[in-house]
Structure 1
Amino acid sequence: MTVLSDRFRAEIDAHVADLRRRRAQVWPPGVPREVRYPLGEITLTAHLRHWARERGDRPAFVVGDRTLSYAQLDEQSDRLAAHLVADGVRPGDRVAVFMGNSLEFVLAFHAILKAGAVHVPVNPMFRGEEVRYELEDTGAQVAVVASALREVFESGRTDDVRTVFDETAIAEVVARDDLPGPGDDGDLDAGDLDVLAALNYTGGTTGLPKGCEHTQRHMLYTAASALTAMNTPPDDVSLVFLPIFWIAGEDAALLLPLVNGSTCVLMPRWDVAEAWDLIERHRVTTLVAPVDSWIPLLDRAEADGRDLSSLRTPLAVSFVTKLDAALRQRFTQVTGSPGILREAAFGMTETHTMDTFTGGLADRDLTARPIFCGLPVPGTDIVIVDRETGHLLPVGEEGEIAVRSPSLLTAYRGRPDATADVLQDGWLLTGDSGQLDESGCLSYLGRHKEMLKVNGMSVFPTEVEFLLGRHPRIAGAGVLGMPDPRTGERAVAFVMLASGATDTADDVVAWCRENMAPYKVPEVRLVDSLPLTATGKVIKRELADRLGPLR
């Protein structure tokens, strides 16, 4: 664990000032240096109220053949919020949302905030024990659950959950004209930028998911700083297929369009043919997608002569395949768009993500190693710290990325020690490795923590071990990762069965598929024993030796 030193504290002000001077030399023309809040620093509900009055007919969300205008979103979320309050939801209560990308998720998000409650998005790929863990950790008493996921939810439901709403219940509530409409209930206009508004779960040093406490101020700053850095105009139309339970999807779909008063075209999942159809039909201007999604999109567009010229803000994420000059050039040739395909941003759940931007820095990004993340967004500082000494490192040297911004988590829920480990003197110690160049631009070098990336999703070996520990016939397990040409990385579990158990590796995998999200399901190797330290910890390096040179 990194501990910031007295020397860090003595040098930090001068060091940050020097980095800001360096960054000023390459700051893209036309990008403001200070954060611009389109409507000022007001709550998300106040933003929705404003756009409902000023652009009431403008589509806020489009999902398939369904469109929800700003006026409709405000009215329907008011009714759902009033119903939540009537059901006993009080300020500070946690409300879990277990849904995929949908208009119902959007309505629930706004209704929860209007009720003064805490939004708890739960990964819709979770299985029973994973759902139970987050419900127990939050103490949620109310849940909004997709009907298709109801059986899974019930398998992990806790006794605390007294009420569950599905799409049918939401449709009935929002159709009721006896519930308050926009502004009819003054309590729904109340709001505080600085109280707990969301618990966004991530993994941590223990591997078990930790709830990052975020406020509306964190959300607002994240959206406003990203909009400022990208110079996003009000007529923007974004296409989002990233899961909106995920912090990056929440930002892209729920926050940036709302703060900007623009339109989000929301996809339940990625589909190439549907994507280019939506881009053409709605003249989509912004799309964030992994490189592995951009490649087939351009392939199909070129083969079928589709018009993607509206894409002026194309952003790529280098999870498995990395962005290169050839793909950037191909985007320009196929689309004819003036936009430049570039890397999206560095970020994490603890910072509410979107901590950097790459606009205006084209070409230099492709020479950085291995992933160029660009400049900190306005209002954010990034430095590199020596893990051993806690001292600041000069430009060019590799170390731990530390971030200071107005969107840092307030705390990990119920984990003061873990909070104190990562939040020091107003800086977040990320556990990730990075390097700053002479201009102060960040390159992401890799993960210092054990975390794996499977198709871009975070997998913590200790979390998989924890879940395997709930199997009644598993005595112990050690999990680590190895490269995978299809998914980037994959988890491998060395499993020791309990005495007398006759399960096969396939049996264990089948259990994992019932109790874990698909991307967490490991390859299973049964072993007679696990190498342990004197204190009972699995010796991972000995397991790694068994994987051989492929690792």
Structure 2
Amino acid sequence: MEKLWLKNWPADTPTEPRYDFGQTPVHEYLRQRAKQNPDKIAMVFYGREISYRELDQASDRFASHLHKNGVKKGDRVGIFMVNCPQYAIAHFGVQKLGAIVCPCSPLFKEMELEYEINDAGIEILVCLDILLPVVQKVMGGVKLRQVIVGNLNDYLPENPTIPLVDMMAYKKQAIPGVVDFMDVVNAEGDAPPRVDIDLDQDIALFQYTGGTTGMPKGCMLSHKAALFKTACVCLATGMDTQTVNLVNMPIFHIAGMVAGMNSTLFAGGTQVLMTMFDPKATMEAISRYKVNFWYSAVPMNVAVMKHPEVAAYDLGSLKLCLTSSFGIQLTEEISAQWRAASKGGLLLEGAYGLSETHTADTFMPRQKVKYGTCGIPGPQQEFKIVDLTDPDKELPVGEQGEIVLRNPACFKGYWNRPEETAGTLRDGWVYTGDIGKFDDDGYLYLLGRKKEMIKVSGFSVFPEEVELLLNRYPGVAQTAVIGVPDDQKGEVVKAFVVMQPDKSATEQEIIAWAKEKMSTYKVPKYVEFRASLPTLGTGKLLRRALKE
């Protein structure tokens, strides 16, 4: 389609990303920033300040350890952690060696973790000790050669400046049979080998996502994808060396990774890293460290504004907050309330994007905000809307259909899934499965999902995955999963269950079992028992009939 959005491009925003050190992998930007300004603070973790020199050196030593243990270019290394300095150190250490980062959600239970380890072929896993019990449960079904374990207290200062989270109460203990993370980063030795990286062809990241069938798939994202989208986020937000970025969205997730961890280092700014969101800790961080940028979710902003102590904190440094409408839709009213609470700060819808495109495919022009839209496409973006029944038919502006897009960050395909890749990636175009439309000004409206994905508090839940797990419950014959509206979470999971003739269960029993076997956001809130489920003559499940 014609790039209608260019007429609304902000006058003070370049149309192409800027690369201070040229087009080179993001981890090379860490190296260059460490050379340029080694003592500058790269990260603050509850008061513990980590310089660019320390972060670069620690990731070098992590890379050296992996190299000594046989990890080579193209190998996959899993990271099973919440937000913490160890995550960033491991992430960039893996990529410095040319190996591939495989984020594992810290919400995973054993079946989910075992699946990703085996599917990706992960042989070395980095995890926190609080998550080690989950790892130990899967050891018999995976081929891990080494587990590297850290503790959240490893990088905490003696006197934290921000309220701690409960999981930080777990003190470090000696654990036999694993490698201590701090032993790795404190070990002196040879620098890791310099590995030649082909930006466009070499894979930096397996970001796992669901699909229309089966279990999650690893999106193969190149170093070019990470670099390009990181630069695009900096372009849209104006991040630079003066940026102080509050990072409490999960960095194992593609959006938090790009808008939090990667972009701050790329720009040479400082990130205030928090393990998870807490409204009081967030206000303390903004006030104490003069945070001027934050990527959030709307419920976070609402929680801050509703906190009884909000008036006691100075939030005036926070000039820009990009947010995602997870659970609560951003409205002009909420944005105005935020402007008052933060003494003039902007609260704007963040971006449209997906794992297959390394996210951040759109941004909201500040001089012309349209609430209820995803903004306009970013640099080097091509978009079109195609007919839902005829993907070769492009629709005119104003008509709704499937969103299809192409840009330099599009994935290389799904790991070991050629058929699924062919169904999503065609001639460089990503067929998103999302339904949307453009208006005459080039603003994108997201109207729904062609795929039957469920959004629970911003997390993507794919019915097939939950169904495959629920089908393992003793006595279950068949299941179907749909999303139903929820005032707090946007959507929650509802499961329809058919039991075997001689078996029985209660709603509470299945929900309790699910809480032990899958991530919290995937657990059904409701279970309805049925004698049968609606299907086509071919046997294909009709979830739409259940929703109706």
Offset of 1:304 from its aligned partner?
2.9
CA distance in structure 2 between the aligned counterparts of 1:445 and 1:130, rounded to whole angstroms? 30
Query: For 2:134, which of 148, 152, 169 is the aligned residue?
Result: 152
Query: For 2:101, which of 99, 119, 131 is the aligned residue?
Result: 119
CA distance in structure 2 between the aligned counterparts of 1:89 and 1:229, rounded to whole angstroms? 36
Which residue is equivalent to 1:348?
A: 354
Match runs of 1:326-405 below 5 Å? 326-337=333-344, 339-363=345-369, 365-366=370-371, 371-389=372-390, 390-405=392-407
Offset of 1:541 from its aligned partner?
4.4
Q: Does the C-alpha gap of structure 1 residues 106 and 43 become closer, same or farther in structure 2, counting only changes over 3 Å?
A: same
CA distance in structure 1 between the aligned counterparts of 2:468 and 2:488, rounded to whole angstroms? 26
Tell me if structure 2 keeps the 8 A contact 1:342–1:362: no
1:539 and 2:542 aligned: yes
Tell me if structure 1 keeps the 8 A contact 2:479–2:495: yes
Which consecutive aligned stretches of 4+ in structure 1 deviate over 4 angstroms post-superposition?
none
1:191 is paired with a residue whose SS is coil
Once the two structures are superposed, what CA deviation does each residue of 1:353-412 show, in whole Å capped at 9, x if it has no partner?
Answer: 01111032444x12xxxx311111111122211122221111111111111110000011
Which residue is equivalent to 1:191?
A: 197
Offset of 1:86 from its aligned partner?
0.9
1:166 is paired with a residue whose SS is strand
Query: For 1:175, which of 158, 168, 186 is the aligned residue?
Result: 186
Q: Does the C-alpha gap of structure 1 residues 438 and 154 become closer, same or farther in structure 2, counting only changes over 3 Å?
A: same
Query: For 2:10, which of 28, 39, 43 is the aligned residue?
Result: 28
CA distance in structure 1 between the aligned counterparts of 2:545 and 2:27, rounded to whole angstroms? 54
Which amino acid is the alignment partner of residue 30 of structure 2?
A: L
CA distance in structure 1 between the aligned counterparts of 2:307 and 2:504, rounded to whole angstroms? 49
Tell me if structure 2 keeps the 8 A contact 1:60–1:263: yes
Match runs of 1:41-440 below 5 Å? 41-157=23-139, 158-167=141-150, 169-177=180-188, 179-180=189-190, 184-185=191-192, 187-188=193-194, 190-193=196-199, 194-300=201-307, 303-337=310-344, 339-363=345-369, 365-366=370-371, 371-389=372-390, 390-440=392-442
CA distance in structure 2 between the aligned counterparts of 1:217 and 1:237, rounded to whole angstroms? 25
Greater mean deviation of Cα atoms: 92-101 or 161-170: 161-170
Tell me if structure 1 keeps the 8 A contact 2:424–2:430: yes
For structure 1, list consecutive stretches of 5 or more residues without a partner in the other structure. Answer: 1-14, 546-551
Q: Does the C-alpha gap of structure 1 residues 207 and 240 become closer, same or farther in structure 2, counting only changes over 3 Å?
A: farther
Once the two structures are superposed, what CA deviation does each residue of 1:69-123 show, in whole Å capped at 9, x if it has no partner?
Answer: 1100111111111111111112111111111111111111011111221100001
Offset of 1:542 from its aligned partner?
4.6
Offset of 1:482 from its aligned partner?
1.2
1:151 is paired with a residue whose SS is helix
CA distance in structure 2 between the aligned counterparts of 1:69 and 1:304, rounded to whole angstroms? 32
Offset of 1:530 from its aligned partner?
3.2
Q: Percent identity?
A: 37
Tell me if structure 1 keeps the 8 A contact 2:239–2:264: no
Once the two structures are superposed, what CA deviation does each residue of 1:147-179 show, in whole Å capped at 9, x if it has no partner?
Answer: 1011112223433111101016111111122x2
Which amino acid is the alignment partner of residue 536 of structure 1?
A: G
Once the two structures are superposed, what CA deviation does each residue of 1:235-267 show, in whole Å capped at 9, x if it has no partner?
Answer: 111111111111001112221112111111111
Offset of 1:439 from its aligned partner?
1.6
1:373 is paired with a residue whose SS is coil
For structure 2, list consecutive stretches of 5 or more residues without a partner in the other structure. Answer: 152-179
Which residue is equivalent to 2:177?
A: none
Which residue is equivalent to 1:489?
A: 491
Which amino acid is the alignment partner of residue 147 of structure 2?
A: V
Tell me if structure 1 keeps the 8 A contact 2:247–2:261: no
Tell me if structure 2 keeps the 8 A contact 1:235–1:262: yes
Compute the RMSD of aligned alpha carbons. 1.7
CA distance in structure 2 between the aligned counterparts of 1:541 and 1:445, rounded to whole angstroms? 17
TM-score normalised by L of structure 1: 0.90
Which amino acid is the alignment partner of residue 347 of structure 1?
A: G
Greater mean deviation of Cα atoms: 493-502 or 104-113: 493-502
Which amino acid is the alignment partner of residue 167 of structure 1?
A: G
Offset of 1:302 from its aligned partner?
6.9
Offset of 1:342 from its aligned partner?
1.0
Give the number of equivalent residue pairs: 516
CA distance in structure 2 between the aligned counterparts of 1:541 and 1:407, rounded to whole angstroms? 33
Tell me if structure 1 keeps the 8 A contact 2:285–2:291: yes
1:526 and 2:529 aligned: yes
Which amino acid is the alignment partner of residue 107 of structure 1?
A: I
Q: Does the C-alpha gap of structure 1 residues 356 and 532 become closer, same or farther in structure 2, counting only changes over 3 Å?
A: closer
Tell me if structure 1 keeps the 8 A contact 2:435–2:449: yes
CA distance in structure 2 between the aligned counterparts of 1:426 and 1:411, rounded to whole angstroms? 10
Tell me if structure 2 keeps the 8 A contact 1:286–1:314: yes
Tell me if structure 2 keeps the 8 A contact 1:56–1:71: yes
Which amino acid is the alignment partner of residue 373 of structure 2?
A: F
Which amino acid is the alignment partner of residue 401 of structure 1?
A: I
Tell me if structure 2 keeps the 8 A contact 1:361–1:374: no
Offset of 1:500 from its aligned partner?
3.2
